[in-house]
Amino acid sequence: MTTAIYNKMAQQIISEQALIIGPLAWSEAKKVQGLRIDLIKNMVTVETGNPGIAVNNLVAQYERLFGRASHEVCREAVIGLIAEMSATDVPLSLR
Amino acid sequence: MTEDKQITDYEVELKAANEIVYKHSLELARLTKELELANREQESLLHFISHEVKGYLTESQAGFASIVEGDFDAVPPQVKTMATSALASVRRGVATVMDILNASNLKKGLVLYAKKSFDFKAAVLTAIEELKPAAEEKHLSFDIAIREGSFMTTGDEHKLKQHTIRNLIDNAIKYTPKGVICIELARTDGHFRFSVQDNGVGITPEDMARLFTEGGHGKDSLKTNVHSTGYGLYIAKKVVEAHGGKIWAESKGGGQGARFIVELPAA
């Protein structure tokens, strides 16, 4: 599984969170290990290595601040992408 | 209680508060999405209905026009009178539906402008001639002040004439029970200014805020003009702005007349 799908995953999660908490979604994502954020273009790139862990970290960052509801928002944001992935490629936090 | 425990308790409270705020924001985001969807569906329905109704009205218009123009040989005078009245009514219906469709298309950015060089002064004078009978019917007069100079500009002549020049003069006629309508055209550096001033029903501060909005009827405007769609000034604004211009209104309040001003770049 290429990192492209994880990039898309992270992008969709942050964009969906931004609809709820505004620019805070991006500034919190910037703190997450394994993600490279461009705050001017609002774009995210997952660093190679273990991209699934970077996505897990992102989900955990939001959950730490905003609780279980934010975790559900992350899952719903990528439900379409998850459907195209094999079970083992789906990040643990989104299974 | 130790300081560390106080900080921990504070963090727990803060997190709980964050979660509550997040859930409220989530609900708000969900409702916003639903509202946006409802608005889009309503726009599509309005567009579809307007298009369908315009089709039926256009057919009726053709039928009545044929009777009035004698395509079916001579008809009894009462029939001709009825057909003439019905034709005028259907034409108003078509104009109303076109207003609604135009407003919808403008909002979606679907309108194309056929821009070419034309004489704005000639367009103003033509509109005045066309609307003179309507003004005379109400015993209104025009006071026309057109300064010297060229008023050539680049734009969609038909849309500027129809939706801006004619619209403003026609509104002045409709909303002025008696008196004079002053029409001015002057040139400043790189721009020219077209204005229509009347001593009619005026505009209250409350109505001024909604004047150029979609469906932006003044509170009592339908009493004065029962055929008002509320889209005319919205369309005028969109057309003027598409040509790099500005449009605004001034009034001292209800019953104190109004002045509408359009500023457009000169060629």
* pLDDT tens-digit series, residues B151-197: 999 999 999 999 999 999 999 999 999 999 999 999 988 899 999 99
* pLDDT tens-digit series, residues B53-63: 888 898 999 99
CB contact under 8 A, B22 and A19: no
State the average pLDDT over residues A27-40.
93
What is the dihedral sign for C-alpha B164, B165, B170, B173? Answer: positive
Secondary element (H or E) of residue A43: strand A43-46
User: Rounded CA gap, B218 and B45, in Å?
Assistant: 25
Interface check for B5 against chain A (CB to CB < 8 A): the answer is no
CB contact under 8 A, A20 and B18: no
State the average pLDDT over residues B123-143.
93
State the average pLDDT over residues B246-262.
94
CB contact under 8 A, B29 and A20: yes
Phi, psi of B21 (to 5 degrees): -60, -40
Q: What is the 3-class SS of B198-235, one letter each residue?
A: ECCCCCCHHHHCCCCCCCCCCCCHHHHCCCCCCCHHHH
CB contact under 8 A, A69 and B25: no
Residues of B with CB below 8 A from A77's CB? Answer: none
CB contact under 8 A, A69 and B23: yes
pLDDT at B2 over 90: no
| CB-based contact A11:A36 (threshold 8 Å) | no
Complex ipTM more than 0.95, yes or no: no
Phi, psi of B152 (to 5 degrees): -70, 140
- Among all residues of chain B, which has the CA nearest to that of A63? B19
Nearest to A39 by CA among A51, A50, A49, A30: A30
pLDDT at B118 over 90: yes
Number of CB pairs < 8 Å for A and B?
27
Residues of B with CB below 8 A from A19's CB? Answer: 29, 32-33
User: Rounded CA gap, B35 and A27, in Å?
Assistant: 28
Instruction: Please tell me the predicted confidence (pLDDT) of residue B121.
Output: 94
Interface check for B56 against chain A (CB to CB < 8 A): the answer is no
- Among all residues of chain B, which has the CA nearest to that of A18? B29
Strands (E), chain B: 116-119, 140-146, 152-155, 179-188, 191-198, 246-250, 258-265
Length of chain B: 267
Mean pLDDT rounded to a whole number for chain B: 88
* pLDDT tens-digit series, residues A17-33: 999 999 999 999 999 99
User: Rounded CA gap, B46 and B21, in Å?
Assistant: 37
* pLDDT tens-digit series, residues B56-98: 898 999 999 999 888 888 889 999 999 999 998 998 888 888 8
Interface check for B22 against chain A (CB to CB < 8 A): the answer is yes
Mean pLDDT rounded to a whole number for chain A: 92
State the average pLDDT over residues B101-105.
83
Instruction: Please tell me the predicted confidence (pLDDT) of residue B173.
Output: 94
CB contact under 8 A, A69 and B15: no
Instruction: Please tell me the predicted confidence (pLDDT) of residue B223.
Output: 63
Contacts of A19 (CB under 8 A, 6+ apart): B29, B32, B33
